[in-house]
Amino acid sequence: MVILYYVACFFAGLFVCNGIPHLVCGLRGEPFPSPFSKPPGKGLSSALVNFFWGAFNLIVGVILLLLVPFVPGFNLGTAVFTIAFLIMGIPTSTHFEKVRLGRRDGGEK
């Protein structure tokens, strides 16, 4: 049962990290790539789609943390959450940087 606690913390970190950019772009009224764009992850989805996708991801992440006795602090659960957050955030940020630079340099693709 202990392993499920860390699995939940890990996936919560992934979902929370993924939800932030989509929710922020949606709230700012900006289009942003999403899994629903064409091509997925490269084309732009509307601000409303991103708002809902971001909210969904954050809700799933919070539910995962509520299902286990997650206590933020200097402990293994928080470390697992943070590692997952970084695992999602680092490649995602570099991917979207390339997508955005490609648009600025070469127009819509």
Q: Which of 18, 26, 36 is closest to 96 using CA atoms? A: 18
In-domain check, residue 41: yes
Q: What is the pTM of this model?
A: 0.86
Domain assignment present for residue 78? The answer is: no
Is residue 108 included in any domain, yes or no?
no
Residue 54 in any domain: the answer is: yes
Q: What is the per-residue pLDDT for 62?
A: 96
- Annotate 50-82 with DSSP letters as a single string: HHHHHHHHHHHHHHHHHHTT---SSSHHHHHHH
How far, in Å, CA of 45 to CA of 64, rounded?
A: 26
Of 107, 25, 13, residue with least CA distance to 68: 13
The number of distinct structural domains making up the chain is 1
**Nearest Cα residue to 49 out of 62, 66, 36, 59:** 36
Dump pLDDT digits (tens) for 28-68: 999 999 999 999 888 999 999 999 999 999 999 999 999 99
Tokens of 40: 């997925």
Please check whether residue 23 lies inside any domain of the structure.
yes
Q: What is the pLDDT of residue 105?
A: 43
- Asked if residue 44 belongs to a domain, the reply is yes
CB 6 within 8 A of CB 76: yes
Q: Does 77 reside within a domain?
A: no
Check residue 69 and give its pLDDT.
87
40 vs 81, residue with greater confidence = 81
Range of the domain at 54: 1-68
